């Protein structure tokens, strides 16, 4: 973590309905689904904090109150645990609310990530800001977000987290094209959403972790919205590049788990279970004994 970190705020987008996990997400946010005993959203907040950022802005929606409650103090629960001699657990619960300073902004309709970002434009103002989707958990030695911040410190322009996938899978993602300018670093000249294999400019995809500058918000505020459908941040990024803006991508080091889809979430559960200090060894023994 850098002591001279100039990225002071993070925006985490968690307003979606989580339809890929219905019916379990009918009454609870998908971001609160647990990886053993910790919800997905806490992993993201801990990544933000480990990257030197202590101000977190959530863009939430209807039915997301549990996220706000999770990062609030729970005096009754803490008192209950302390009375029963579980002081360590009470302290662990108390620390969650102290991880960072939290602000919550509600997106009244699910109008897309571009619309969600404009709702917090007044809170970001003229600063670079980290933007994270509520699904992508990256396990790495150096936090993925810190890797992006380090890249931003070099280039002073927006940076996207990139991941290399098999060419045959590019049609599932937003793909970037550009020129390699340094190890793991690319100057992006085009962004294409879910292209065919033949039309994909590369096999580098963008994941839900960025460093945005005020220029991105300025363009989102002026770019023409689609008449139908949601307004996504990709529209602003495409326009930014078309206007000659410098956009970089960093191929992060680590392993990503897409907790917004079922298979990715199951993989994340296995990783979290095997790494858990309390149940990891027993869980590993159990898996080895399965007839698969």
pLDDT in tens, 140-162: 999 999 999 999 999 999 999 99
Residue 12 has pLDDT above 70, yes or no: yes
The per-residue pLDDT for 2 is 45
User: How does the average pLDDT of the chain come out, rounded?
Assistant: 94
The per-residue pLDDT for 4 is 60
pLDDT in tens, 90-121: 999 999 999 999 999 999 988 999 999 999 99
**Helices 233-242 and 214-222 sit at what angle, rounded to 10 degrees?**
100
Q: How confident is the model at residue 1 (pLDDT cuts 50, 70, 90)?
A: very low
pLDDT, average across residues 201-217: 96
pLDDT in tens, 53-102: 999 999 999 889 999 999 999 999 999 999 999 999 999 999 999 999 99
Residue 251 has pLDDT above 50, yes or no: yes
pLDDT, average across residues 265-284: 96
**Number of Cα atoms under 13 Å in the Cβ half of residue 201:** 15
Q: Which domains does the chain have, with CATH numbers?
A: 9-288 (3.90.550.10)
**Helices 75-83 and 87-97 sit at what angle, rounded to 10 degrees?**
170
Provide CB contacts within 8 A for 22, sequence distance 6+: none
């Amino acid at each position: 973590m850098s002591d001279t970190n100039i990225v002071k705020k993070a925006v985490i987008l968690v307003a979606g309905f989580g339809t890929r996990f219905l019916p379990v997400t009918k009454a609870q946010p998908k971001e609160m689904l647990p990886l053993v005993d910790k919800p997905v959203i806490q992993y993201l907040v801990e990544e933000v904090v480990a990257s030197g950022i202590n101000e977190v802005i959530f863009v939430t929606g209807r039915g997301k109150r549990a996220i706000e409650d999770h990062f609030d103090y729970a005096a009754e629960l803490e008192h209950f645990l302390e009375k029963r001699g579980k002081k360590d657990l009470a302290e662990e619960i108390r620390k969650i609310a102290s991880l960072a300073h939290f602000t919550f902004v509600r997106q009244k309709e699910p109008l897309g990530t571009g619309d969600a970002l404009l709702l917090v434009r007044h809170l970001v103002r003229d600063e670079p800001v980290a933007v994270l989707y509520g699904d992508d958990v990256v396990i790495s030695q150096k936090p993925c977000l810190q890797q992006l911040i380090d890249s931003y410190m070099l280039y002073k322009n927006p940076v996207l987290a990139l991941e290399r996938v098999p060419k045959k899978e590019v049609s599932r993602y937003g793909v970037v094209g550009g020129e390699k300018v340094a190890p793991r670093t690319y100057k992006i000249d085009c962004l294409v959403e879910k292209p065919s294999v033949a039309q994909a400019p590369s096999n580098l995809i963008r994941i839900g972790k960025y460093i945005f500058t005020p220029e991105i918000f300025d363009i989102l505020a002026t770019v023409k919205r689609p008449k139908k459908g949601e307004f996504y941040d990709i529209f602003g990024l495409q326009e930014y590049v078309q206007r000659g803006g410098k956009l970089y991508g960093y191929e992060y080091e680590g392993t990503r788990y897409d907790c917004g889809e079922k298979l990715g979430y199951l993989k994340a559960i296995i990783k979290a279970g095997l790494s858990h200090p309390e149940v990891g060894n027993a869980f590993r023994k159990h898996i080895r004994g399965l007839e698969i």
